[in-house]
């Protein structure tokens, strides 16, 4: 049996640090594809994709807020921007008393989504090692799975513009993760990712190594460690052999928070991801972050080692 067809293990469903690396890289690629092809911001584009998925009948503005987890005034601003650009139009809902307003996509809006979707797919293909046919099929399956996380208001939309719908889904999942971690752990997503990685390795890590392993900037990790240290959840350590290096290690209080992070992340996995996907979709997502992202990280490590061969004594 090919490795890509191996039995799906329950452990593959755990949202470990590798998942969050894959999630963050994918989220960045999706947003980059949007920025390259559209003047719309993420909220406006998410709204447009929802309107396209709804078809000719459109969506009541009051329902858009619930679908996208947005406040009514934010939805109004997004629809206003889409209407000004000619991508959407408003109309009175049939059979209503005139107070219910429905938004629907225009032909220009549908064409715009098609162009942006192509740009998003291009950025995703540039991010992942898709010259390998097996990896390319995994990526395509994971995009389709990502698009299926959030159910569409129209059954006919299931096979259209999967990359754009994946962006909508990932925005919702990201917001749910941030809110849940802050509510249960009292920390930001970045801070929880640092705690999670320290938990996985079980030993102190240099700030730079944490940044490299989590695909975060050193500045972002340093800020997260500073905030964690202020709460007493991590302690910063120095090395006598490398005075510039700063290490981070979890304290006893931090270890308790690590367990809270693990419980919250497991709950998020069940409620925000796996319960909304079938077995094939779960398999595709797990393979994407464990196979493809591992390859991306291996390439970066190979580049790092190759650079070592170019070192020479200082003059």
Could you write out the three-class secondary structure of 38-91?
CCCCHHHHHHHHHHHHHHHHCEEHHHHHHHHCCCHHHHHHHHHHHHHCCCEEEE
pLDDT at 126: 79
Give the pLDDT mean for 158-187: 83
- Per residue in 272-281, pLDDT (tens digit) is 778 777 787 7
Q: What is the mean pLDDT of residues 44-68?
A: 89
Kindly state the tokens that stand for 80.
Answer: 């206003």
158 — pLDDT class (breaks 50, 70, 90):
very low
* Mean pLDDT along residues 170-193: 90
Domains 17-178+273-294 and 186-250 share a fold: yes
| Residue 270 banded pLDDT, cuts 50, 70, 90 | confident
Q: Who wins on pLDDT, 206 or 288?
A: 206
C-beta separation of 106 from 55 below 8 A: no
Question: Would you give the DSSP letter of residue 9?
Answer: P
Kindly list the domain boundaries of the chain, sorted by start residue. Answer: 17-178+273-294, 186-250
Look up residue 6 and give its two tokens: 């191996």
- In terms of pLDDT, which residue wins out, 252 or 23? 252
pLDDT class of 283 with cuts at 50, 70, 90: confident
Q: Which of 119-123, 216-220, 292-296 has the highest mean pLDDT?
A: 216-220
Find the range with the poorest average confidence among 74-78, 186-190, 229-233, 304-308.
304-308
Q: pLDDT class for 7, splitting at 50, 70, 90?
A: very low
CATH match for 17-178+273-294 among 1.10.1060.10, 1.10.3720.10, 1.10.10.10, 1.20.120.160? 1.10.10.10
Report the predicted TM-score, pTM, of the whole model to 2 decimal places: 0.76
| pLDDT score recorded for residue 186 | 93
Q: Which residue has the tokens 């070192």?
A: 311
Candidate from 39-53, 169-183, 248-262, 294-308 with smallest mean pLDDT: 294-308
What does the block give as tokens for 122?
A: 């291009």
C-beta separation of 75 from 68 below 8 A: yes
Q: CATH fold of 186-250, please?
A: Arc Repressor Mutant, subunit A (1.10.10)
Q: Give yes or no for residue 78 having a pLDDT over 80.
A: yes
Q: Which residue has the higher pLDDT, 84 or 282?
A: 84
Q: What value does the mean pLDDT of the chain take? A: 83
- 52: which strand partners? none
pLDDT value at 94 more than 70: no
Q: Residue 291: what pLDDT?
A: 67
Mean per-residue pLDDT for 164-182? 85
Does pLDDT of 251 surpass 90?
A: yes
pLDDT at 4: 40
More confident residue, 69 or 10: 69
pLDDT of 105 over the 80 cut: yes
* Predicted pLDDT at 95: 58
Least confident range of 16-30, 32-46, 121-135, 236-250: 121-135
Phi and psi (nearest 5°) for 22?
A: -60, -45
């Amino acid at each position: 049996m090919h490795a890509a067809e191996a039995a799906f293990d329950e452990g593959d469903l755990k949202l470990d640090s590798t998942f969050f690396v894959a999630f963050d890289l994918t989220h960045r690629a999706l947003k980059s594809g949007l920025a390259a092809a559209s003047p719309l911001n993420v909220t406006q584009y998410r709204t447009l994709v929802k309107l396209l998925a709804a078809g000719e009948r459109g969506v009541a503005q009051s329902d858009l807020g619930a679908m996208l987890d947005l406040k009514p005034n934010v939805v109004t601003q997004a629809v206003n921007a889409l209407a000004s650009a000619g991508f959407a139009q408003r109309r009175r809902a049939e059979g209503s008393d005139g107070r219910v307003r429905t938004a629907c996509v225009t032909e220009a809006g549908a064409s715009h989504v098609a162009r942006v979707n192509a740009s998003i797919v291009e950025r995703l293909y540039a991010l992942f090692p898709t010259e390998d046919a097996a990896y390319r099929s995994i990526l395509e399956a994971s995009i389709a799975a990502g698009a299926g996380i959030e159910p569409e208001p129209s059954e006919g939309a299931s096979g259209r513009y999967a990359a754009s719908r994946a962006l909508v889904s990932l925005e919702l999942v990201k917001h749910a993760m941030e809110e849940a971690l802050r509510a249960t752990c009292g920390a930001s997503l970045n801070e929880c990712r640092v705690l999670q990685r320290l938990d996985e390795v079980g030993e102190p890590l240099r700030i730079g190594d944490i940044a490299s392993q989590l695909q975060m900037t050193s500045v972002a990790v340093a800020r997260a460690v500073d905030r964690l240290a202020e709460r007493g959840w991590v302690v910063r350590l120095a090395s006598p052999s490398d005075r510039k290096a700063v290490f981070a290690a979890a304290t006893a209080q931090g270890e308790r928070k690590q367990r809270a992070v693990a419980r919250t992340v497991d709950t998020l996995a069940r409620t925000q991801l796996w319960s909304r996907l079938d077995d094939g979709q779960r398999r595709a997502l797990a393979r994407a972050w464990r196979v493809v992202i591992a390859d991306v990280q291996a390439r970066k490590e190979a580049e790092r080692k190759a650079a070592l061969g170019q070192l020479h004594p200082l003059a």
